[in-house]
Structure 1
Amino acid sequence: MLTCKEQVARSSDYLDGQLSFRERLMVRHHLMFCPNCRRFVRQMRLMQATLRAMPEEPVPGVDDLAERLSAERQKHNTQP
């Protein structure tokens, strides 16, 4: 059986369908018994879906907004 560390290392390839049949079986076997790795793979699936849903072109003004939010956060973190 795979260790959690080995499972994490194979997770991207598993989700992308790039593992051999034997490797897929090993991953699935590990996932049957490890709730933490199941949660990790579920989070990776959600992240992949979120990235696919994002627009290809950057949204106008998003960099300015990110800079303003960062400055506000820093200002609030330095205030007593």
Structure 2
Amino acid sequence: MLTCKEQVARASDYLDDQLSFREKLMVRHHLMFCPNCRRFMRQMRVMQATLKAMPEKPLEEDVDALAERLAALRREDNS
């Protein structure tokens, strides 16, 4: 059985489906018995889905508008 450290080292490859059949079985076997690694893998899946959902390049207008709003809020707080 894999150790938690070995499992974490394989996590990205597992999620990207880049492991051999034998390695996938070892990862799945470890996940059956380790709740901490299952939680870690869930977090990795959420992070991966979030990154995929993000736009590749933010629109400059959105960044400028956000900066303007934050500056206005800061001015209000300092008043």
- The TM-score bracket by the shorter chain reads 0.7 to 0.9
Which digits, 9 at most, give the CA deviation of each residue in 1:54-77, with x for residues without a partner?
011223253873xx68xx7xxxxx
Cα distance between partner residues in 2 of 1:9 and 1:62: 35
Determine the structure 1 residue equivalent to 2:30.
30
TM-score, normalised via structure 2 length: 0.76
Counterpart code for 1:42: R
Counterpart code for 1:25: L
Determine the structure 2 residue equivalent to 1:75.
none
TM-score, normalised via structure 1 length: 0.76
Kindly report which structure 2 residues correspond to 1:26-65, keeping only aligned pairs within 5 A, or say none. 26-60=26-60, 62=63, 65=67
Counterpart code for 2:10: R
After superposition, the CA RMSD in angstroms is: 1.9
Determine the structure 2 residue equivalent to 1:78.
none
State how many pairs are aligned: 68
Counterpart code for 2:12: S
- Max Rg structure: 2
Deviation at 1:4, TM superposition (A): 0.1
User: Unpaired runs of 5+ in structure 2?
Assistant: 75-79
User: Unpaired runs of 5+ in structure 1?
Assistant: 73-80
